[in-house]
């Protein structure tokens, strides 16, 4: 059985800010990490691999991004992925979710017999949660989004997924091949042993570029995108409110409940 | 343009059976497309031989101008007794916003209602601004499935050609939107929090990105409809619905085969402290990592009970396993807009703030006077939650007694 995990390298978003003068993103000194939800997807892939006899499950990791995205792939190989594909080309720059899904679709069509595709529910930089479902549609395979746990059926033809939904969970079954987008479940971040880190160095990371796709250049990157960003700006902050000193808790509570009464909350 | 590879077509009739519009016929064991084809993609989706491809060239401005009207998907939930289906609140929020956009474009608003045979309350949709409802009833449409909904919604959009199509950015809305967009090759913007029409009549879709640190405005220049999922609890529902307002209900009856649905819900498990979930709560008391132990949640729950509210929390509490993910407020959790939001021991990282700054009144309690939460709070108490919360509970009880 072959599992493909799509992984994205993202900036540590807590530190990204917009320059209020120029309106551009200031990424100086911001570290790049493996998107946490892609890491959870890796976790679930590894759980399946560990549940099966040795050699039954193969995990291939794919990342589309700049050459530096190799670091995210290496992290996945350290966790226990078997091999990796880096999809990189300057022609891919500026791709929106449609152009990204189309590019990754063309790569996957060239791989033999992928049974299950796991993706993070969203990347913490773009936050769109769109590329996974678009990819599934272009590959014409079913999907289950917001999965937090998965298991194979006895015949390994179907996957059963615990899915987060509003106000609860669902258990959903899907025929394979299919795609599951992964939210944060019980899976914990793996600590990689020194040995697995060394092992990862020997694993194969192949590189694929625009020439490998068989797509017209007009379908790639910014040119091939159906949406365009016209403006980027910092969120508007609101006026400061009233500050109550809480050193005397009873007096502070009295003051605040007075406000609550005025507004009819009490 | 729809192309059929006559070398690989096996004449299996799957496309014929699954075409919503009966626009595909098998002639001499080969599929042949008819003039009433809408390019909705249902045939390509079911073709086992991948013999059908649809080439979608970029449209000219003249072609784009032919798309008219605003469509909204009405995601439905079951009524309390399970006898009928009710459009979710986000549908009414979208209607209020669409009404505002329609003022500018002069277009009509149609709501897409997919359901099984149970009745759906459409009166509310008209009262809140819908000009029409397009309804499709089929037992395969409950519960929601990605495949059946993608097929039907794509068929509706391909046949009716609206200029704007909005969906709620709920789990199912974000599951469905990208499938429809990819099937029809449409641009899609995720989780929008502001919508505007610019002077050229384009929809400007604004959304937070990078964990809420920036806002991005996005347009869809080359494809119609302009598709967006819209974050729930950001736009207000109209306070003055016109209860006598009526509109037309069009029955949209197309072929839908059981075979398109490739997933099956085996089990549904409800969690959450209130039946409605935090997204619909009017009062929320939320805890953060400033709390000392899970026991502190008891006093927060008590305060919430006194105010008729519900408990929620920020991401660190979910990560620590103190509260379930369904109670998480913030960018990676749920966006809420209660009338009153009380943040206790929450520092106010931007990822949390984007999930609650639409609240009516915000009260923050934190012992760090520099905590960013105070920048969004209407009232901030600098103090120790362990002292302030019990004092608040006591004071509220006394106020109630006095009343």
Q: Which among B292, B284, B338 has a CA at the least distance from the CA of B312?
A: B284
Asked if B85 contacts B117 with a C-beta cutoff of 8 angstroms, the reply is no
Cβ-proximal residues to A53 (8 Å cutoff; 6+ apart), any chain: none
In a domain, A87, yes or no: yes
Please count the CA atoms within 13 angstroms of the CA of A219 that sit on its side-chain side.
16
Asked if B362 contacts B374 with a C-beta cutoff of 8 angstroms, the reply is no
Chain B contact for A20, CB < 8 A?
no
Cβ-proximal residues to B327 (8 Å cutoff; 6+ apart), any chain: B272, B273, B278, B311, B312, B313, B318, B333
Q: Per residue in A155-191, pLDDT tens?
A: 989 999 999 887 788 999 999 999 999 998 665 667 7
Cα B213 to Cα B232: distance, rounded to the nearest angstrom: 19
| Structural domains in chain A (count) | 1
In a domain, A232, yes or no: no
Cβ-proximal residues to B81 (8 Å cutoff; 6+ apart), any chain: none
Residues B209, B212, B215, B219, CA torsion sign: positive
Question: Domain containing A94 — which CATH number?
Answer: 3.40.50.620
Q: Per residue in B4-35, pLDDT tens?
A: 999 999 999 999 999 999 999 999 999 999 99
In a domain, A9, yes or no: yes
Terminal CA-CA length for chain A: 60
In a domain, A148, yes or no: yes
- A-chain CB neighbours of B350 within 8 Å are 14, 235
- B-chain CB neighbours of A245 within 8 Å are 381-383
Go through the domains of chain B in sequence order and give each one's CATH number.
Answer: 2-54 (3.30.70.20), 61-260 (3.40.50.620), 278-397 (3.40.50.1220)
Cα B377 to Cα B365: distance, rounded to the nearest angstrom: 9
pLDDT tier for residue A209 given thresholds of 50, 70 and 90: very high
CA distance A199 to chain B (A): 31
CB–CB contacts below 8 A, A to B: 275
- Average of pLDDT values for A93-104? 96
pLDDT at B164: 98
Q: Which among B147, B75, B170 has a CA at the least distance from the CA of B115?
A: B75
User: Any bridge partners for residue A171, and if so which?
Assistant: A162, B267
Tell me how far CA of residue A184 lies from CA of A108, B23, B215, B262, in angstroms.
Answer: 25, 44, 25, 24
pLDDT at A187: 56
pLDDT over threshold 90, residue A17 = no
Q: Per residue in A222-249, pLDDT tens?
A: 999 999 999 988 887 777 789 999 889 9
Burial of B276 (0-12, 13-18, 19+ CB in 10 A): middle
pLDDT over threshold 50, residue A62 = yes
SS3 sequence of A90-119: HHHCCCCHHHHHHHHHHHHHHCCCCCEEEE
pLDDT tier for residue A112 given thresholds of 50, 70 and 90: confident
- Average of pLDDT values for A101-116? 95
pLDDT at B273: 42
Closest residue in A to B315 (Cα) is A184
Chain B contact for A94, CB < 8 A?
no
pLDDT at B275: 47
Which residue's structure tokens are 């993608």?
B150
pLDDT at A165: 85
B218·A134 Cβ contact <8 A? no
Residues B190, B192, B197, B200, CA torsion sign: negative
Chain B contact for A140, CB < 8 A?
yes
pLDDT at A24: 67
Residue B320 backbone phi and psi in degrees, to 5:
-80, -5
Mutate one of A37, A172, A246 to test the B interface: name it (highest B CB count within 10 A). Answer: A246
Nearest to A174 among B263, B392, B399 (CB): B263
In a domain, A224, yes or no: no
Q: Which is it for strands B263-270 and A168-175: parallel, antiparallel or unpaired? A: antiparallel
User: B171-184 and A97-110 are packed helices; what angle lies between their axes, rounded to 10 degrees?
Assistant: 70
Nearest to A126 among B175, B209, B354 (CB): B209
Closest residue in A to B151 (Cα) is A137
- Average of pLDDT values for A44-60? 93
- Average of pLDDT values for A113-121? 96
| pLDDT tens-digit profile, chain B (403 residues) | 999 999 999 999 999 999 999 999 999 999 999 999 999 999 999 998 899 999 998 889 899 999 999 999 999 999 989 999 999 999 999 999 999 999 999 999 999 999 999 999 999 999 999 999 999 999 999 999 999 999 999 999 999 999 999 999 999 999 999 999 999 999 999 999 999 999 999 999 999 988 888 899 999 999 999 999 999 999 999 999 999 999 999 999 899 999 999 999 999 987 644 445 788 889 999 999 999 999 999 999 999 999 999 999 999 999 899 998 889 999 888 889 899 999 999 999 988 998 998 898 999 999 999 999 999 999 999 999 999 999 999 999 999 888 7
Q: What is the dihedral of CA A240, A242, A245, A246, to 10 degrees?
A: -100
Chain B contact for A171, CB < 8 A?
yes
In a domain, A248, yes or no: no
In a domain, A153, yes or no: yes
Closest residue in B to A131 (Cα) is B178
Asked if B367 contacts B361 with a C-beta cutoff of 8 angstroms, the reply is no
Structural domain boundaries, residue A66: 2-219
């Amino acid at each position: 059985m072959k599992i493909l995990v799509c992984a994205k390298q993202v900036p540590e978003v807590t530190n990204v800010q917009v320059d209020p003068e120029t309106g551009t993103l200031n990424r100086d000194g911001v570290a790049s990490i493996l998107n946490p939800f892609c890491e959870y997807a890796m976790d679930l892939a590894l759980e399946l691999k560990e549940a099966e006899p040795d050699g039954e499950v193969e995990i291939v990791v794919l990342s589309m991004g700049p050459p530096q995205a190799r670091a995210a792939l290496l992290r996945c190989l350290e966790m226990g992925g078997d091999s990796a594909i880096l999809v990189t080309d300057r022609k891919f720059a500026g791709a929106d979710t449609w152009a990204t899904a189309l590019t990754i679709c063309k790569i996957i069509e060239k791989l033999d017999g992928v049974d299950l595709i796991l993706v993070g529910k969203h990347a913490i930089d773009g936050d769109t949660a769109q590329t996974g479902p678009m990819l599934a549609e272009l590959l014409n395979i079913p999907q289950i989004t917001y999965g937090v746990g998965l298991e194979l059926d006895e015949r390994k033809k179907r996957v059963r997924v615990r899915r987060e939904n509003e106000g609860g969970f669902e258990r959903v079954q899907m025929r394979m091949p299919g795609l599951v987008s992964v939210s944060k479940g019980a899976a914990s971040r793996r600590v990689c042993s020194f040995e697995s880190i060394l092992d990862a160095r020997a694993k194969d990371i192949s590189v694929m570029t625009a020439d490998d796709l068989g797509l017209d250049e007009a379908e790639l990157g910014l040119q091939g995108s159906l949406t365009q960003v016209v403006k980027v700006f910092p969120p508007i902050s609101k006026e400061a409110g009233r500050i109550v000193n809480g050193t005397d808790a009873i007096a502070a509570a009295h003051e605040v409940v007075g406000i609550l009464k005025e507004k009819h909350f009490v | 343009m729809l192309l059929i590879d006559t070398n690989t077509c096996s004449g299996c009739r799957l496309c014929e059976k699954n075409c919503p519009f009966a626009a595909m016929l098998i002639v001499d064991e080969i599929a042949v497309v008819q003039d009433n084809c809408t390019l909705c993609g249902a045939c390509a989706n079911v073709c086992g031989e991948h013999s059908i491809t649809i080439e979608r060239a970029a449209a000219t401005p003249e072609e784009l101008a032919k798309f008219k009207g605003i469509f909204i998907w009405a995601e439905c939930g079951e009524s309390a007794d399970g006898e009928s289906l009710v459009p979710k609140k986000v549908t009414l929020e979208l209607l209020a916003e669409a009404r505002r956009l329609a003022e500018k474009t002069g277009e009509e608003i149609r709501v897409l209602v997919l359901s099984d045979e149970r009745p759906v309350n459409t009166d509310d949709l008209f009262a809140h601004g819908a000009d029409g409802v397009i309804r499709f009833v089929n037992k395969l449409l409950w519960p929601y499935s990605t495949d059946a909904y993608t097929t039907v919604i794509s068929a509706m959009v391909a046949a009716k050609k609206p200029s704007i199509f909005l969906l709620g950015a709920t789990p199912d809305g974000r599951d469905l939107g990208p499938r429809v967009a990819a099937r029809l090759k449409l641009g899609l913007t995720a989780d929008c929090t502001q919508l505007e029409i610019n002077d050229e009549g384009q929809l400007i879709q604004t959304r937070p990105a990078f964990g809420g640190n920036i806002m991005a405005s996005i347009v869809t220049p080359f494809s119609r409809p302009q598709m967006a999922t819209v974050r729930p609890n950001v736009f207000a529902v109209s306070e003055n619905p016109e209860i006598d307002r009526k509109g037309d209900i069009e029955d949209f009856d197309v072929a839908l085969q059981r075979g398109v649905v490739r997933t099956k819900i085996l089990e549904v498990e409800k969690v959450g402290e209130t039946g409605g979930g935090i997204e619909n709560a009017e009062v929320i008391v939320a805890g953060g990592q400033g709390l000392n132990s899970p026991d502190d949640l008891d006093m927060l729950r008590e305060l919430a009970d006194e105010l008729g509210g519900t408990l929620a929390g920020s991401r660190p509490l979910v990560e620590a396993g103190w509260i379930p993910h369904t109670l998480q407020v913030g960018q990676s959790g749920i966006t809420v807009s209660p009338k009153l939001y009380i943040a206790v021991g929450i520092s106010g990282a931007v990822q949390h703030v984007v999930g609650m700054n639409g609240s009516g009144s915000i009260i923050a309690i934190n012992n760090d006077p520099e905590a960013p939460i105070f920048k969004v709070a209407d009232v901030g108490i600098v103090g120790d939650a362990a002292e302030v919360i019990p004092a608040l509970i006591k004071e509220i009880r006394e106020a109630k007694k006095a009343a």
